[in-house]
Amino acid sequence: MSFMKNLKATAAVVALSTGVAQAADVEVLHWWTSGGEAAALNVLKGDLEGQGIGWQDMPVAGGGGEQAMTVLRARVTAGNAPTAVQMLGFDIQDWAKEGALANLNDLAAAEGWDDVVPEALQGFAKHDGKWISAPVNVHSTNWVWANKAVLDTNGIAVPETWDDFAAAVDALSAAGITPIAHGGQAWQDATVFDAVVMSTGGPDFYKAAFIDLDEEALGSDTMKEAFDRMAFIRANVDDNFSGRDWNLATAMVINGDAGFQMMGDWAKGEFLNAGKVPGQDFLCFRFPGTQNQVTFNADQFAMFDQGGAVSAEQSALAQAILSPTFQSAFNVVKGSVPARTDVSDADFDDCGKQGMKDLAAAASSGNLFGSMAHGHAAPASIKNAVYDVVTAHFNGEYDSATAVTELVDAVSIAK
């Protein structure tokens, strides 16, 4: 791979020409640009600064990370990879297959990562037995966020079933309130679709469709029903949803301009950043019909090969990320739960405690599933194919029956 040779050559030149001061920095490419995300990232920056390590920030806006991966590809191809890059799921494995990532095994052994990081996360953090990334957190994606005052004013209890949810949406619509805050971006559409499919068909169906890629499941009446439910959701978002960033949709719920948002638990960081309190100002609950399941993604920082052994700065960054103290402090702010199983929930709020409890229960019962929408169920080619169909349907290009047919064809081609 010529770009890897270029990368190593460039790294060697940079090391010789920039001196010791530059070597004490880490350049980190990420997409944590919203208020709550930035506040969480500052925890990591502060940890490293306390060790005398500078932080060169390289933010690339876009909640699903697609734009960041485009920038990364250009950087690596030019022989100028960042020190570390925020990544999700199969993207990590794809870069590992290209030989672009550093081997963190020595650090992992010294720190005992194998004993405290869940196997589901290790499946993405390791390649050919080598640790290649440091997991920051576990996000679960099948959450609903609600404005408590809006629900209370309209006599709406937390919905337990799809029918409950549909009735609540109808009640808000009748009251002149936007029922569902949503941002019309492909990854957001797919995040909702994840939860809807799990709710409609259950965990076995979700696994068959999105992990096993079974054509019978993908083309089933159950899948058509899931698309019908997506059409109901589409009918109950505001007219200005197209292109809206996820955190702006969250702000609609925070401000009482909408009742519900279906979004991963990173949304909690926006509520906290706005000074809101779970249980008092906002509610968090599993998407109706998925109370015993968890779909997840896990932010990880992959360390790029800088032309030799893992640098001291990379080692310090990875060690800081997986320290129990940081795992608690960061995830309290971010809204996610720790990537380690031995971190206390003492500092977490009610939503955080519930998230940790749900994750442990789902893992032990076999109901913890990688999120299709966030690259943890199938490789990027499959994910992108599903994105195209889901978004086309959400925007009215297909009816539900056509969407099912298109989904089967798209996944078949992408395999």
The CATH number of the domain where 95 resides is what?
A: 3.40.190.10
The predicted pLDDT at position 120 comes to 85
Closest CA to 246 of 165, 174, 328, 190: 190
Give yes or no: residues 158 and 17 share one domain.
no
Give yes or no: residues 199 and 286 share one domain.
yes
The predicted pLDDT at position 168 comes to 98
Give yes or no: residues 331 and 228 share one domain.
no
Tens of pLDDT, residue by residue, the chain (415 residues):
433 433 333 333 233 223 333 446 999 999 999 888 888 889 999 989 998 999 999 999 887 788 999 999 999 999 999 999 999 999 999 999 999 999 999 999 999 999 999 888 899 999 999 999 999 999 999 999 999 999 999 999 999 999 999 999 999 999 999 999 999 999 999 999 999 999 999 999 999 999 999 999 999 999 999 999 999 999 999 999 999 999 999 999 999 999 999 999 999 989 998 999 999 999 999 999 999 999 999 999 999 988 778 989 999 999 999 999 999 999 998 889 999 989 999 999 999 999 999 998 898 898 999 999 999 999 999 999 999 999 999 999 999 999 999 999 999 999 9
350, 368, 388 — which closes off a domain?
350
Report how far apart, in Å, the C-alpha atoms of 79 and of each of 29, 91, 340 are.
15, 19, 33
Give yes or no: residues 343 and 359 share one domain.
no
Dump strand ranges (E) for 45-111.
54-59, 84-87
Q: How far apart are CA 382 and CA 211, in angstroms?
A: 10
Give yes or no: residues 96 and 46 share one domain.
yes
Q: Rounded to a whole number, what is the largest CA-CA distance in the chain?
A: 68
The predicted pLDDT at position 381 comes to 94
Query: What is the tally of structural domains in the chain?
Result: 2
Residue burial 282-296, b: 16+ Cβ < 10 Å; e: rest: bbbbbbbbbeebbbb
Closest CA to 150 of 128, 133, 175: 175
Strands across the sheet containing 133-135: 54-59, 25-30, 84-87, 300-303, 133-135
Partners of residue 101 on adjacent β-strands: 304
317, 334, 350 — which closes off a domain?
350
Give yes or no: residues 152 and 292 share one domain.
yes
- Domain enclosing residue 376, as ranges: 140-296+355-414
Give yes or no: residues 36 and 109 share one domain.
yes
Give yes or no: residues 145 and 196 share one domain.
yes
Give yes or no: residues 86 and 149 share one domain.
no
307, 334, 350 — which closes off a domain?
350
Give yes or no: residues 144 and 61 share one domain.
no
For residue 243, the tally of other CB atoms under 10 A from its CB is: 9
Give yes or no: residues 211 and 270 share one domain.
yes
Helix (H) or strand (E) holding 324: helix 324-334
For residue 52, the tally of other CB atoms under 10 A from its CB is: 9
Q: How far apart are CA 147 and CA 250, in angstroms?
A: 10
Q: Is 281 exposed, middle or buried (0-12, 13-18, 19+ CB in 10 A)?
A: middle
Give yes or no: residues 173 and 202 share one domain.
yes
